[in-house]
Amino acid sequence: MSEAPFVEVRDLRRVFDVSKPWLNRVLENAPRQYLKAVDGVSFDIARGETFALVGESGSGKSTVARMVVGLLPPSDGTVAIAGVSMNDVDVAQERQRLRRRIQMIFQDPYASLNPRWRVGRIIAEPIRAFQIVEGEAAINNRVGELLTLVGLHPDDRSKFPHEFSGGQRQRIAIARALASNAEFIVCDEPTSALDVSVQAQILNLMRDLQERLGLTYLFISHNLAVVRHMATRIGVMYLGRLVEISDGKQLFSNPRHPYTRMLLDAVPDLAMTGKARDGVKGEIPNPISPPCGCTFHPRCPLVFDRCRIETPPVIDGVACHAVNEGRVAAA
């Protein structure tokens, strides 16, 4: 695609202060401690595409999601939607205009809907906040449309969230995200709290909606199979860094970074091809004191001296010295 990317994330960083309280630091003579949750992440998302971030716990993928939607201010770096960055807009009105275009779907459908609000009010809230349509009747109409769009009944508006199952609640959450006519939706593990059969319903719904409304998704997940099913492009994260960005199909047919390979190898195999699995070693290190150099080096089968000292930059979609030096044949 030659046009400017719809979503542009540049060198995003986020540091959390995880120091002990002041008194403890003084008494125990402990230094301040920082956690680099996200450490220089850059990617683009084209309009209408699904970009997935995949990684294990502590990889920083959810932190990226929260920074992209503006729930968490980045320590450094920028997020721009259609060329407009959150950092650039000072006027409240402008900011609101940008917010309208970005919405989010959360992991836990049991916590993402206010339990004391009726569904109709929940979905109407963004419509009122962004003044999408005016007048009670029009708002009501729109809520009904949205509920139908996500496969629920317009009459469901008068119920409370607890009257719905997890999958139905996630539909409500999707309806709320669409209520502001958002174009870009950040989905943070949208199906990992759901059962497989319900997950299939939600994933299919999300794909249908993407086709119908031309939505752009940033899809966060730890589940490689789900990511494969949804994403056009995929970024693999490890300890706050992107280690590989690749075309959706290619990542699975031709994984390049050793971590990606390990991850793919570790996924339980439903097809039961009986593949050998010996590549999985060790566990994710403590992100407060990550290994120096390439953070993956203690677990990497291809490690050599340079990996322990120098952090590999992302070159041609892979952040790995071994791959860049051509010491690994692209399988």
Partner 1 sequence: MTVKEAVPVLSVRDLTVEFVTRRATLRALDRVSFDVARGEVLGVVGESGAGKSVTGSAIIGLIDPPGRIAGGEVLLSGARIDDLPQEAMRKVRGKRIGMIFQDPLTSLNPLYRISEQLIETIRVHTDLDAAQARARAIALLDEVGIPAPERRIDSYPHEFSGGMRQRVVIALALCAEPEFIIADEPTTALDVSVQAQIIALIKRLCKERGTSVMLVTHDMGVIAETADRVAVMYAGRIAEIGPVREVVKQPLHPYAKGLMGAIPSLEGEAKRLVQIPGTMPRLSAIPPGCAFNPRCSQAFSRCHVERPELIAVGDRKVACHLYDESNAEIAA
Partner 2 sequence: MSSTPLPTPRSQGRLARLWDSDLAFSFRSSPVTVAATLLALLLVLAAVAAPLIAPYDPFDPASLDLSDGFSRPMEPNEITGKVFWLGSDAQGRDIFSAILYGSRVSLLVGAASVLFSLVIGVGLGLVAGYVGGRTEALIMRVADVQLSFPAILVALLVFGVARGLIPPALQEQMTLLVLVVAIGLSNWAQYARTVRGSTLVEKNKVYVDAARLIGLKAWPVMLKHVLPNVAGPVLVIATINLALAVIEEATLSFLGVGMPPTQPSLGTLIRFGQQYLFSGEWWILLFPSLVLVLLALSINLFGDWLRDALNPKLR
Footprint of partner 1 on this chain (CB under 8 A)? 56-57, 165, 167-168, 195-201, 203-204, 207, 222-226, 228-229, 248, 252, 262-273, 277, 280, 283-284
The position carrying tokens 């209520």 is: 179
Residues 6+ apart with CB under 8 A from 228: 248, 251, 252
| Sheet containing 216-221: order of strands | 102-105, 184-188, 216-221, 50-54, 233-238, 241-247
Window 94-113: residues binding partner 2 (CB under 8 A): 95-96, 99, 102-104, 106-108, 111-113
Q: How far is the CB of 183 from partner 1 (least distance, A)?
A: 23
126 binds, among partner 1, partner 2, none (CB under 5 to 8 A by kind): partner 2
Orientation of helix 166-179 relative to helix 196-213, angle to 10°: 20
126 lies in the binding site for partner 2 (CB under 8 A): yes
Please choose, from the candidates 220, 286, 313, the residue with its C-alpha nearest in 3D space to the C-alpha of residue 35: 286
d(CA 86, CA 99): 9
**Cβ atoms 81, 60 nearer than 8 A:** no
Strands 184-188 and 102-105: parallel
Which of 163, 269, 305, 325 is close enough to bind partner 2 by CB under 8 A?
Answer: 163
156 binds, among partner 1, partner 2, none (CB under 5 to 8 A by kind): partner 2
168 lies in the binding site for partner 2 (CB under 8 A): yes
Per CB under 8 A, the segment of 62-70, 82-90, 138-146, 305-313 that binds partner 2 is 62-70
The 10 Å Cβ neighbour count of residue 52 is 26
264 lies in the binding site for partner 2 (CB under 8 A): no
130 lies in the binding site for partner 2 (CB under 8 A): yes
Burial of 257 (0-12, 13-18, 19+ CB in 10 A): buried
240 lies in the binding site for partner 2 (CB under 8 A): no
- Comparing CB distances to partner 2, the nearer of 118 and 306 is 118
| Sheet containing 84-85: order of strands | 34-45, 7-17, 76-81, 84-85
195 binds, among partner 1, partner 2, none (CB under 5 to 8 A by kind): partner 1
Strand partners, 81: 7, 84
245 lies in the binding site for partner 2 (CB under 8 A): no
Q: Which two tokens stand for residue 292?
A: 């120096």
- Comparing CB distances to partner 1, the nearer of 200 and 213 is 200
Longest Cα–Cα distance of the chain, Å, equals 68
- Comparing CB distances to partner 1, the nearer of 66 and 228 is 228
38 lies in the binding site for partner 2 (CB under 8 A): no
d(CA 331, CA 246): 15
d(CA 184, CA 46): 10
Residues 6+ apart with CB under 8 A from 76: 11, 12, 13
Q: How far is the CB of 101 from partner 2 (least distance, A)?
A: 11
Window 142-161: residues binding partner 2 (CB under 8 A): 151-153, 155-156, 159
d(CA 80, CA 77): 10
Q: How far is the CB of 180 from partner 1 (least distance, A)?
A: 27
Window 198-237: residues binding partner 2 (CB under 8 A): 201, 204-205, 208
Site residue total, partner 2 (CB under 8 A): 39
Please give the residue ranges that form the binding site for partner 2 (CB under 8 A): 66, 69-71, 95-96, 99, 102-104, 106-108, 111-117, 125-126, 129-130, 151-153, 155-156, 159, 163, 168, 173, 176, 180, 201, 204-205, 208
